[in-house]
Amino acid sequence: MTLHRLIEQYIGYRHSLGERCHTNGSILRSFGRAIGARTAVKDVRADQVDAFLAGVGPITSTWHVKHGALRGFYIYAVSRGHVVASPLTTVIPKRPPNFVPYIYSRDELRRLLLATDVYQHNRSCVEPTTVRTMILLLYGAGLRLREALALARSDVDLDARLLTIRQTKFYKSRFVPVGPQLCAALACYARRPQSRVPVVGDGAAFFTTRAGATMKRDTVEDIFQRVRECAGIIRSDGARYQPRLHDLRHSFAVHRLTSWYRQGLDVQRLLPQLSVYLGHARLDATSVYLSMTPELLDEASKRFERYAKVEGVRHA
């Protein structure tokens, strides 16, 4: 069997299990192109696999992501009798340090919003109000970018202050309530003058370009980097990546947890609610936020100190 055919068969198999298989599917198809789609699966050599994994430059977390995708593929290939053994290396390099998301301060968030009015040097296909509203939404509701871009007008219920997020990561849908200030910003955006070619109907995208077209992820991320640079926000911790649009979601979660600690609320009891709100499949995906910033750790330690003092009095 050819490598191309088995890769597509494997991706179809993962789909049948309810997985989207976007990242792994993309990696495997790239692997097929690099080796040669018409190459027989049994003829793929270990040195070819090693070259694909190594890529160019130093070893990064990408190596491990690609290795994981190929490992699953070759387990499938061996179990179906297409190869006798996997050509993957058994020597696994040390993982690089975990990526640390950037947590925007409230002052930086204000600077980002101000920069949406001045970052453009020439007229863009995307209105400043669109960029501003999207930043407000991603931070104010903790949405993923693809969730915001997929919103239809019918998904934004301004009267009920409720967003419907459909078939997102892990094929899950959820309702996301929003506060009055964010709802007012969304309503203001919805009432803006229509584009030159307005898109009508409940299924029309909520966020559109000036021409009324659906916005593309790469376009939004590129615009955000220009906004960020205009706002003068840069990382100074030696991290590989500059602050990202997705970090607004991380900032939302950390700021919410910090606020709960300061209010003296039971954060452990509220954490599952935050997990559901964010659309996480597992609670541990949300609990990582508990140790993300010194400010949050400081609030947690103060809470524990107060608890320890009370318990000490009880048992004195």
- Give catalytic residues, as residue numbers: 144, 169, 246, 249, 280, 289
Rg (the chain; Cα; Å)? 24
Residue 46 has, within 13 A of its CA and on its CB side, a CA count of 7
At 38, list the tokens: 């018409």
Task: Name the token pair of 33.
Answer: 């192109």
User: CA of 273: how far to CAs of 48, 101, 277, 304, 305, in Å?
Assistant: 47, 22, 6, 21, 25
Residue type, 76: Y
Residue 75: which residues within 8 A CB-CB, separation 6 or more?
86
CB count, 10 Å around CB of 144? Answer: 18
Amino acid letter for position 233: I
Q: What Å distances lie between residue 156 and 48, 95, 176, 203, CA to CA? A: 49, 41, 10, 11
Please tell me the distance from the alpha carbon of residue 312 to that of residue 305, in angstroms, as a whole number.
Answer: 10
